[in-house]
Structure 1
Amino acid sequence: MIRFLQTPGPTKKIVLGGLLLVICAAMVITLVPGGIGSSIGLGGPGQGVLATVSGEPVTTAEVQREARQMLRQQFPRGGEQTAMLIPYFAERAAQNLISRKILVTEAERLGLRATDEEVRDELQHGRYSATFFPGGNFVGQQQYEAILQNADLSAPVFEQIVKSDILLDKLRNLAAGAVTDAEVRKEFEKQNTKIKFEYAVLRKDDLLKQIKPNEAELKAFYERNKASYNNSIPEKRKIRYVVLDTAKIQAATSVSREELQSYYDQHRDDYRAPEQVSVSHILIKTPLPGPDGKVDPKGVDEARKKADDVLKQVKAGGNFAELAKKYSEDAGSAKNGGSLGWVGRGRTVPEFE
């Protein structure tokens, strides 16, 4: 059905007209006894359901609201006297609403839908943008509801009307097979654009017959492009190995104590560990030389005085590690109580040795 409606031609219009007549006849429309005018009254409160379209009610309140809107459009400056004309607009309003519900129902049957996002886009960029988004800015929820209330509408009812309008637009576009100028131009260019180009076919075998580089040329080409040949052929190695099970070897080997002693005496140097001591220190820094290359003697005296004071505390039985954490200016060792770990000979400056 949708593909048929999207195809152009007069036959489609005739079939579409007949189809809509069938749709209208197939819809279950029930009107209340007494006629539309007697059901609406003279603008008073609605009296319930006026008609049903495929199970969807058309209420007298909806007809009254539609009639009042038609009246305001026809007589924008009319006063209270225009209210007496509502019954004259009521029948047309009812027919409009019934026709609208028939088309909306058919649009939904064809699988057309209007999303909340499309409703928001219609309010912001469509026919209502100047009212609710002047200058691109939303008037605010309170003003939005006030405008609708002034038009005898609530926000949910109004947004449902907008959603129905979107559905009807989609149905009209589907029936008309609407095509934009951009789509026409794109299709025209697709069917009429032509390209002229020249090309040559080169066969590898033919080229190899004509190109015969000598050894010098090959070597020069390789030197210029040596980087591109790096690792072009993965390196390979040929390995021979023997698997030894140490557990089996140990089980099959018997070594006496005398043999162990003899082997140790012959390889004593292999087992000799260099001399090491556990070192801790408390570093008191002296001032560095100034721009003139001289060291401030006052700073040196203060550093020596501080060092002597710490030394006295150590000799008096003070906890070296705690004193190091408190006074040492070597941040790396101070947090470890001044410990530098195990140090061998020759690994520090002569003064420290």
Structure 2
Amino acid sequence: MKFVDEAYIEVAAGDGGNGCASFRHEKFKEFGGPDGGDGGRGGHVWALADENLNTLIDYRYSRRFEAQRGEHGKGSDMFGAKGEDIVLKMPVGTIIRNADTGEVMHELLRPGEKILLAKGGDGGFGNLRFKSAINRAPRQKTPGHPGERFNLQLELKVLADVGLLGMPNAGKSTFIAAVSNARPKIADYPFTTLHPNLGVVRVGPEKSFVIADVPGLIEGASEGAGLGHQFLRHLQRTRLLLHIVDLAPFDETVDPVAQAKAIVQELKKYDPELHAKPRWLVLNKLDMVPAEERQARVKDFVKRFKHKGPVFEISALTREGCEPLVQQIYQHIAATREAEKPTVQTDPRFDASRDPAPPDPTADDPRFRD
């Protein structure tokens, strides 16, 4: 399936049905009075976070979504039926913006999260609503209210715990294939990876984390060179970055230190907050370095690169050093998750989490307040 992480759509909620002006006509009831019902509510447009989706391909070609309008009111005290709602399933991690103003309307961060995109119009009042002791035969009725309409920009930022950085052909795809269930395309030429790959790393029973591989970066990526700059947004929600370096490039004239420094500079130009995330250095392809030269080459790289964080030496192809690295990553992720948990203390006798009720998407929406 083609990976699509941006789309533009138009959503339109249903209009409300019109109210009806009608009077009861029955035998022996000459003045039966008003019996015109209200119009039905127009259908809402909802967005639902679906953990089984990982692309916005469904919204690349179908761009307009319109809910059903409410039925008009009828005589004999019959109210119009409400319009049918529509639910748009989107990947977890989707950001929904108003395309006209650029304002962020919603972010889908939890599987099963459901939010209202466009509210259906309320139905109009029939003349039954206007009956009073003074006005015994009202002929007033009101039209239905129009439903909300928006032009939306959908942007997907994948949710991953760990993100991989590196030049093309640094071995990122080989690494994610070695430690996770992902099976990306692997070849001996640059830019093999054309879209982000996600993999789940199993450390033990109920112990896992998600790792994301994006296309490799090259110098000038922040200005649009190469492919990686298009997908750096997918690293903005990660908790840890792994900077993978090819310690044994095919071209002996290439300096791995200069390449690594170029990656760091491009990261800083693109997003200072992304540059400030914890970043570990992973020196890859040690199997291609003679055993007697490994320590000297690693020591020289670390000295020239001046990296202050942890440094790991691995071979993704032979999986040498991968298991200790995975264990260290999980410990870091687990500690970060624990630190992010809320510290609010609750009385266990009144802990609602033991039997949680499904959240009401309209509870905090001002459009549903009286």
Please indicate the TM-score interval, normalised by the length of the shorter structure. under 0.3
Higher helix share: 1
TM-score, length of structure 2 as denominator length:
0.14
Larger Rg: 1
Higher strand share: 2
Which structure has more relative contact order (CA 8 Å, sep 6+)? It is 2
